[in-house]
Structure 1
């Protein structure tokens, strides 16, 4: 049996998946270069809504599978962040505001008429993964948050520079999420490193993060392809 990676080696292996994150997808590259149409932006926002809507369920699944009350209490904050404490609040409320800022009626997001088959398949697969795998494996999959703050900062800059038709109040989700995700990423990384102590667990965690990168990439594949038909 192979020896476990040291904490430093394990951390480096997780961070080493940075190249698989979706910021390097051709769709995002075009968006950040100012080459996206309003239809491209709206299609991304409408499809990403489906992902956003499932995040609280994903986090609830991780809690349901975790036997440690301290971890459950800490992870519960993620559900509150996305769902808010009442309707129209939290990340979901901010995403509806983003939809309005790019010209999407709230009804269009809520009834999911624009959600592509590829997006639905990828997100449903991720949710099933988190419901059926050990909690620490699902937590490792969530470590795409290691890579997202810089990407969200770049998105805000690119959208303000290239897409002045997007109403400024639509940026609220990203502005609130950046500091929160940095804190979450640090906590989750420490959690995964502490609990994945065997080589098998470590390799499973690395594979889980790779899987999550593929989920995000598959969403963009569908969104990108739909714009080329």
Structure 2
């Protein structure tokens, strides 16, 4: 039986998956370089919307599968971030504002007519993963948040520079999410390092984060193949 990694080795293995994150995807690089058409940006927003809609549910699944009340209480904040404390608030509402800012018809966003099949399969697979796997693996999958704050900040700067037609109020989601995800990443990493103690548990956590990176990459594959939307 393999010996478990030390805490530092385990953390390094998780952080070492950064090259698999979707910031290196050709579509993402084109998006940040100013090379996307308005239709392609709307396609990204529409497909990412489908991902956004499952985040509160996948976080609720982690809570449901976790036996530790202190973790459930802390993780509940993620549900509230996306759903808001009331209608018209939270990350979902901010994403609707982004759709308006890129002139994507709201009815088209809500009825998911522009969601690519590849996106749907990838996102549904991620939700199923979090509902059926041990909570530690689902938490480890969320560790893409280790890599996301800098990317979101770079996205806002790049979009302001290259896509001046996007209305400023559309940036609310990223501006609100960046400081929250920084704290979430620190908490989640400590949680996974603490509760994944055996070599098998550590390997499962690494594979979970790898899977999540592949989910995000699959979304961009689908968006890139789809091209723009009207």
Distance 1:226 1:85 in 2: 35
Report deviation, 1:16.
0.0
Distance in 2, matches of 1:213 and 1:88, equals: 30
Pair 1:48-2:48 in alignment: yes
Find the counterpart in structure 1 of residue 169 from structure 2: 169
- Counterpart in the other structure of 2:155: 155
Counterpart Cα distance in 2 of 1:33 and 1:67: 45
Supply the distance in 2 between the matched residues of 1:135 and 1:106 (Cα, whole angstroms): 34
- Measured in 2, the distance between the counterparts of 1:102 and 1:171 equals 10
1:184, distance to aligned residue in structure 2 (A):
0.2
User: What is residue 74 of structure 1 aligned with on the other side?
Assistant: 74
Partner of 1:226: 226
Quote how far apart the aligned CAs of 1:207 are: 0.3
* Residue aligned with 2:17, SS: helix
Residue of structure 1 equivalent to 2:95: 95
Aligned partner of 2:199 in structure 1 is 199
2:115 match: secondary structure:
coil
* Count of aligned residue pairs for this structure pair: 229
Equivalents in 1 of 2:60, 2:137: separation in Å? Answer: 14
The 5 Å alignment of 1:1-229 reads 1-227=1-227
Q: How far does residue 88 in structure 1 lie from its aligned partner after superposition? A: 1.6
The Cα shift of 1:86 comes to: 1.4
Structure 1: gaps spanning 5 or more residues = none
Q: CA deviation at 1:80?
A: 0.2
Aligned equivalents of 1:112 and 1:85: distance in 2?
Answer: 24
Structure 2 unaligned segments of length 5 or more: list them: none
Q: CA deviation at 1:42?
A: 0.2
Query: How big is each residue's C-alpha offset from its partner over 1:33-66, in whole Å with a ceiling of 9 and x where there is no partner?
Result: 1100000100000000000000000000000000
Residue 106 of structure 1 deviates from its aligned partner by 1.7
Over the aligned positions, Cα root-mean-square deviation in angstroms equals: 1.0
Runs of 4+ in 1 over 3 A off after TM superposition: none
Q: Structure 2 CA distance, aligned partners of 1:49 and 1:107?
A: 13
Q: Could you report, residue by residue, the CA deviation over 1:186-219 in whole angstroms, capped at 9, with x for unpaired residues?
A: 0000000000000110010000000000000000
Structure 1-normalised TM-score?
Answer: 0.99
1:161 Cα deviation after fit: 0.2
- Aligned mates of 2:109, 2:83 — CA distance in 1: 16
Following superposition, the deviation at residue 85 of structure 1 comes to 1.3
